[in-house]
């Protein structure tokens, strides 16, 4: 038990199981017990003691669902998986995990991968740190086009949907308020910071130190896709009440559709596009294919990642296949000779 004094909630379960002959031999005896201890220390150091304690105390509540053998086996496998994620660089960064604290508070064994494992996109993005790039130290307006109060849109949709205020009149009022809020914000800023990585050192006299690039895990064959979804918080979060309720989702669609009409092909919408495009030098797509910003058209659409509802979206379309390069492991941009698909018509929901 003394070896696990700092583990608190896990101390009892780990020591008890390893000290039982059946578990002791099956899971590798003292050697594997010590390995488990080392892994737990690495996990604690990475995620921090507060989140660490919350993680294991909540997982230990799962014991009531399983017999002793299955519970310990799942515990053992979870420790091994989290350690592997850290060693391989496939775990979400510390700041992201802190923001996901609300998920850890309700975590089960089934949720471990979703909460802790980084996305394929994030893994790809991290690989650029070894190819002459670094993460930005500061982004003032990261994809932000408004300054709406926190949870404003979600609360307003619920308020309207529950019949506490007049439906159509309030929807029009909400559209007007959001459009005005966007206009005030856009007129107060000089650019919109929507990029993932920054050039750390000059690359092939094409990308200069300090240049900013957006990373997309799309192949060069995808000629049109979403670039940013700046007004999707009510439907984007996992378990959103808005997307699961037909009345709420209908109201969301009407509001987003109204704001979209106030921006599309209007001076305010055009300015948003200009600000998005202002800072970036281009996109890097799947397989490290670099597309200069001159080859890209950004435009406003109501079609984002979902086809079931509208999303205020900035999409990108490839309009030229000139000067497309491939980033090599030795930090060089080489000509990409394969033919690329180009975007045709703008994509949106009818």
The pLDDT tens digits for 7-37 are: 454 545 555 555 555 555 555 666 777 777 7
**pLDDT score for 3:** 45
Do the Cβ atoms of 62 and 13 come closer than 8 Å?
no
Q: What would the two tokens of residue 42 be?
A: 């690495």
d(CA 327, CA 334): 7
Nearest to 81 by CA among 100, 59, 105, 62: 59
- Over residues 72-95, the mean pLDDT reads 83
**Which of 29-33, 39-43, 149-153, 173-177 is predicted least confidently?**
29-33
In tens, the pLDDT along 92-151 reads: 888 888 888 888 888 888 888 888 988 778 888 888 999 999 998 877 667 889 999 988
* Position 83 pLDDT exceeds 90: no
pLDDT band at 59 (very low <50, low <70, confident <90, very high): confident
Q: Where are the domains of the chain?
A: 2-118, 127-335
d(CA 141, CA 314): 15
pLDDT band at 5 (very low <50, low <70, confident <90, very high): very low
- Over residues 263-275, the mean pLDDT reads 97
Q: What is the DSSP letter of 105?
A: T
**pLDDT score for 255:** 96
CA distances for 237 relative to 71, 120, 313, 335, angstroms = 30, 18, 16, 40
CA distances for 80 relative to 49, 85, 257, angstroms = 18, 9, 47
pLDDT band at 85 (very low <50, low <70, confident <90, very high): confident
Q: What would the two tokens of residue 297 be?
A: 């058209």
């Amino acid at each position: 038990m003394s070896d696990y004094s700092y583990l608190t909630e896990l101390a009892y379960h780990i020591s008890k199981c390893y000290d039982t002959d059946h578990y002791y031999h099956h899971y590798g005896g003292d050697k594997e017990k010590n390995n488990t201890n080392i892994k737990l220390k690495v996990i604690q150091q990475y995620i921090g003691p507060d989140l660490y304690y919350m993680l294991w105390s909540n997982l230990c509540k799962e014991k009531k669902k399983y017999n002793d053998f299955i519970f310990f086996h799942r515990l053992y496998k979870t420790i091994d998986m989290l350690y592997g994620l850290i060693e391989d660089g496939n775990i979400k960064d510390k700041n992201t995990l802190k923001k996901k604290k609300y998920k850890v508070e309700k975590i089960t064994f089934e949720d471990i991968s979703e909460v802790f494992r980084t996305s394929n996109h994030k893994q790809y993005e991290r690989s650029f740190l070894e190819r002459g790039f670094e993460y930005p130290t500061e982004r003032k307006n990261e994809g932000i086009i408004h300054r709406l109060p926190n949870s404003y849109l979600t609360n307003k949709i619920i308020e309207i949907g529950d019949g506490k205020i007049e439906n159509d009149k309030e929807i029009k009022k909400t559209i007007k308020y959001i459009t005005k809020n966007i206009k005030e914000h856009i007129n107060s800023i000089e650019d919109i910071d929507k990029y993932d990585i920054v050039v750390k050192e000059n690359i092939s006299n094409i990308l200069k130190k300090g240049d900013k690039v957006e990373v997309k895990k799309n192949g060069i064959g995808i000629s049109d896709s979403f670039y940013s979804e700046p007004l999707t918080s009510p439907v984007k979060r996992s378990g959103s009440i808005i997307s699961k309720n037909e009345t709420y989702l209908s109201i969301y669609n009407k509001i987003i559709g109204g704001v979209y009409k106030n921006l599309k092909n209007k001076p305010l919408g055009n300015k948003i596009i200009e600000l998005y495009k202002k800072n970036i030098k281009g996109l890097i797509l799947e397989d490290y294919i670099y597309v200069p910003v001159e080859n890209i058209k950004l435009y406003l659409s109501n079609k984002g990642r979902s086809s079931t509802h509208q999303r205020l979206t900035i999409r990108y379309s490839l309009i030229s296949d000139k000067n497309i390069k491939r980033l090599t492991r030795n930090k060089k941009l080489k000509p990409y000779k394969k033919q690329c698909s180009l975007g045709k018509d703008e994509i949106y929901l009818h």
